């Protein structure tokens, strides 16, 4: 049954072919989210391996292939949430009542397209700067990012029915504590700068509470993207700073 939860989490978060779980309840779906950080870790290992194997050819090629794999494996799930949230926020700039109407619109608008393009550019540029030592810590980034939805859905009230509401229902808070401790320990060992992840997660949750008063599934997906790109640059900049310090006389 535990592996059933992993399969359910994998089929929701990725396009990786796993034996499908068809007959699941809302409670089982909520409990399966305890596997989200683990799925993120596997995604990070795969992307990191692709970058490592191809980096000797060209850092630009390695970053491009890694990013393509990253987007393909996730099915652009979180990018879709980022685009929807961007469009809704833009539409609600002068009319707050339009927020949910635009959020529910399946079409992607100008602001959504721009947000996706900018996010991909930022990720590609960040991945070019990854050194071999940084790649060891890279899998922690998608793992931390997928811990975010568990925390946000427990902390913030759902603004409408959907996945944002279903995550929070039956997941024990002990799983959030467990993954926080595990990822912090791994971050201390591999890349202490990534210990800033809880602050990034808390920052996104705080912004959602201030700006919207709660969360939706799209907000959770957008938060995954934001957390990933922020932690990617934290890792790259901290690694570059340590390399520069090491070369000083």
- The tokens for 51 are 């970058």
Could you tell me which of 120, 121, 85 has the C-alpha nearest to residue 105?
A: 85
Instruction: With beta carbons less than 8 A apart as the criterion, state whether 162 and 216 touch.
Output: yes
Whether the predicted pLDDT of 100 surpasses 90 = no
pLDDT per residue over 36-74, tens digit each?
A: 999 999 999 999 999 999 988 899 999 999 999 999 999
Whether the predicted pLDDT of 195 surpasses 60 = yes
- Round to whole Å and give the CA distance between 8 and 35: 9
- Round to whole Å and give the CA distance between 19 and 5: 11
Highest mean pLDDT among 103-107, 111-115, 210-214: 111-115
pTM (predicted TM-score): 0.91
Q: Give the containing element (helix H, strand E) for 218.
A: helix 217-247
pLDDT per residue over 120-153, tens digit each?
A: 999 999 999 999 889 999 999 999 999 999 999 9
Across all residues in the chain, what is the average pLDDT? 88
Mean pLDDT of all residues in 211-237: 94
Whether the predicted pLDDT of 84 surpasses 50 = yes
pLDDT at 157: 87
Q: Which residue has better confidence, 248 or 75? A: 75
pLDDT at 241: 61
pLDDT at 52: 94
Instruction: With beta carbons less than 8 A apart as the criterion, state whether 29 and 8 touch.
Output: yes
Residue 148 CA, distance from chain mean position: 7
């Amino acid at each position: 049954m535990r592996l059933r939860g992993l399969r359910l989490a994998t089929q929701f978060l990725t396009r990786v072919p796993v034996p499908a779980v068809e007959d699941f309840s809302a409670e089982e779906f909520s409990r399966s989210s305890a596997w989200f950080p683990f799925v993120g870790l596997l995604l990070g290992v795969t992307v990191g391996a692709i970058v490592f194997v191809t980096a000797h050819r060209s850092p630009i090629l390695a970053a491009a292939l890694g990013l393509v794999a990253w987007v393909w494996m996730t099915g652009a799930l979180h990018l879709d949430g980022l685009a929807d949230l961007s469009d809704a926020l833009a539409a609600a700039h002068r009319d707050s009542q339009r927020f949910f109407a635009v959020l529910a619109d399946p079409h992607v608008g100008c602001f959504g397209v721009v947000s996706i393009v900018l996010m991909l550019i930022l990720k590609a540029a960040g991945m070019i700067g990854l050194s071999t030592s940084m790649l060891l810590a890279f899998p922690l980034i998608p793992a931390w990012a997928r811990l975010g939805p568990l925390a946000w859905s427990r902390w913030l009230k759902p603004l409408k029915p959907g996945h944002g509401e279903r995550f929070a229902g039956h997941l024990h808070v002990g799983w959030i504590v467990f993954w926080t401790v595990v990822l912090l320990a791994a971050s201390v060992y591999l890349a202490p700068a990534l210990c800033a992840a809880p602050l990034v997660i808390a920052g996104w949750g705080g912004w959602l509470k201030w700006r919207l008063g709660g969360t939706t599934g799209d907000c959770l997906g957008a938060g995954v993207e934001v957390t990933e790109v922020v932690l990617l640059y934290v890792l790259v900049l901290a690694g570059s700073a340590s390399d520069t310090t090491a070369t000083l006389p």
